[in-house]
Amino acid sequence: MKKVVKFGGSSLASAEQFKKVGAIIREDEARRYVVPSAPGKRFSSDTKVTDMLYACYASAEQEEDFSEQLDRIHERYQEIINGLGLKFSLDQDFEIIRKNFTEKAGKDYAASRGEYLNGKVMAAYLEFPFIDAAEVVRFNEDGTFNEEVTNELLSARLADMEYAVIPGFYGAKEDGTVVTFSRGGSDVSGSLVALAVGADIYENWTDVSGFLIADPRIVKNPKSIETITYKELRELSYMGASVLHEDAIFPVRKAGIPINIRNTNAPQDKGTLIVEGTCRKPKYTITGIAGTDGFAAITVEKAMMNSEVGFCRKVLQVFEDNGVSIEHMPSGIDTMTIFVHQNAFEEKEQKILAGIHKEVSPDHIELETDLALIAVVGRGMKSTRGTAGRIFSALAHAHINVKMIDQGSSELNIIIGVRHEDFKNAIRALYEIFVLTQI
Ligand code: ASP
């Protein structure tokens, strides 16, 4: 049995956290490949090491004195090393980093040092071999990620290694230039390692016991999700639910490797299991509720639009030409509505409106802003009658006007558009009907 274990920044923020991680790894022999993040926040007003590195490098780039900033980063690691009682020093590494910062080695190089150094500390602590991710995670010349070469390099390198620590978040181009994934990218690294070693499971250790059914900032003490499919997760993360980096799903999904989100501070909790498919019946009809604010709707109206061949294409072309991505598109007989992110639309608004007039001569265009979309997601909806009915009666009881409804053809989700003011109440009403009353 092989497990790849990735630990997030808050799981590695201090020596005390490192000890919890050590205990988790030692408790299960299958936990053989470890992917650490950089040390995160120790308390809520603390700064993540990655952010300290970005700030320090910004000073270096402006040719300001960055010694003190770098020393403070060094202290963060030294505190961990001392707390773990290790006879191990990063002095030499910090000298190299100092030199490379002075020579302006790049922002990505700077940020990547958080994981690199933490990987070294972790390897010393566990007595596992260390592999520099720059050698095994490959980016193309243009900075895009090269999945194929990475998989070859990683599989070959790990083939006869029983144990290893591979820092997350970064890799390098063929010439050695370090490139990072986007923020939170150690999740992706963990997934790549899991694919390369053919892991039985990819454990992603963080500071929550898995996904929650709804956002805890909106719903008080929401229950957690035990099992979720990749598809459901995709729907929820599209709507803003975040625990895992979005790109982390793809490598393991291809190989059918489940991801288990676990809590370093509560290792007894089972967390959330993310799987390709499952026969396990969800506890509730729905798996989760997520939503995002900040949408605008553009409704284009024209009599007999339904019989005008190419109408939709022409309207959509205007959005494409202006580089504005379309999020949803409910339509009527003589109307079509296009949901877009308000920020992106506002910049191009007049151009798009003029473009639509020119292309299709509509009778009327109506704009509505400050809308929110809420997705009610669940594989259980397919086999349950009355889900839509319950959604709308819950919203009606909460005096919420529904502006848009969109049921995905997979019957996996129902998306509802509401006004910004109703957003939170709508989520609470939905949680109550599906989870608290659980009829
Ligand atoms: N340390 C990086 C960040 O703060 C990457 C990660 O933690 O996954 O975004």
Tens of each residue's pLDDT in the chain, 439 residues: 999 999 999 999 999 999 999 999 999 999 999 999 999 999 999 999 999 999 999 999 999 999 999 999 999 999 999 999 999 999 999 999 999 999 999 999 999 999 999 999 999 999 999 999 999 999 999 999 999 999 999 999 999 999 999 999 999 999 999 999 999 999 999 999 999 999 999 999 999 899 999 998 999 999 989 999 988 988 888 887 777 888 898 899 989 999 999 999 999 999 999 999 888 777 888 999 999 999 999 999 999 888 889 999 999 999 999 999 998 888 888 999 999 999 999 999 999 999 999 999 999 999 999 999 999 999 888 877 888 889 999 999 999 999 888 887 777 889 999 999 999 999 999 999 999 986 5
Distance CA 9, CA 17 (A): 10
Residues 339 and 272: beta-carbon distance below 8 Å = no
* Ligand 1 atom closest to 51 (CA): 4
* Cα–Cα nearest to 116, from 73, 150, 69: 73
* Ligand 1 atom closest to 189 (CA): 8
Place of tokens 């920020």: 343
Hey, what are 135's tokens?
Answer: 């050698």
What is the distance, to the nearest Å, from the Cα of residue 390 to the centroid of all Cα atoms in its chain? Answer: 30
What values do phi and psi take at 402, rounded to 5? -90, 125
Among 57, 109, 170, 183, the mutation site with the greatest number of ligand 1 atoms within 8 A of its Cβ is 183
Strands (DSSP E) contained in 265-334 are 272-275, 288-301, 326-328
Going from the Cα of 372 to the center of ligand 1, the distance in angstroms, rounded, reads 29
Residue 182: its pLDDT value, please?
96
Let me know the angle formed at the C-alpha of 198 by 226 and 253, rounded to the nearest 5 degrees. Answer: 50
Ligand 1 pocket by Cβ (under 6 Å): 9, 37-38, 48, 50, 114, 168-169, 183-186
Please name the residue whose Cα sits nearest to atom 8 of ligand 1.
184
Going from the Cα of 245 to the center of ligand 1, the distance in angstroms, rounded, reads 10
Please name the residue whose Cα sits nearest to atom 6 of ligand 1.
184
* Ligand 1 atom closest to 115 (CA): 1
| Confidence (pTM) | 0.85
Going from the Cα of 9 to the center of ligand 1, the distance in angstroms, rounded, reads 7
Distance CA 204, CA 262 (A): 6
Going from the Cα of 247 to the center of ligand 1, the distance in angstroms, rounded, reads 14
Hey, what are 397's tokens?
Answer: 């009881």
Residue 330: its pLDDT value, please?
85
Distance CA 194, CA 196 (A): 6
Give 369's contacts (C-beta < 8 A, 6+ positions apart).
Answer: 296, 342
Per DSSP, the residues of 89-158 read --HHHHHHHHHHHHTT--HHHHHHHHHHHHHHHHHHHHT--B--HHHHSBB-TTS-B-HHHHHHHHHHHH
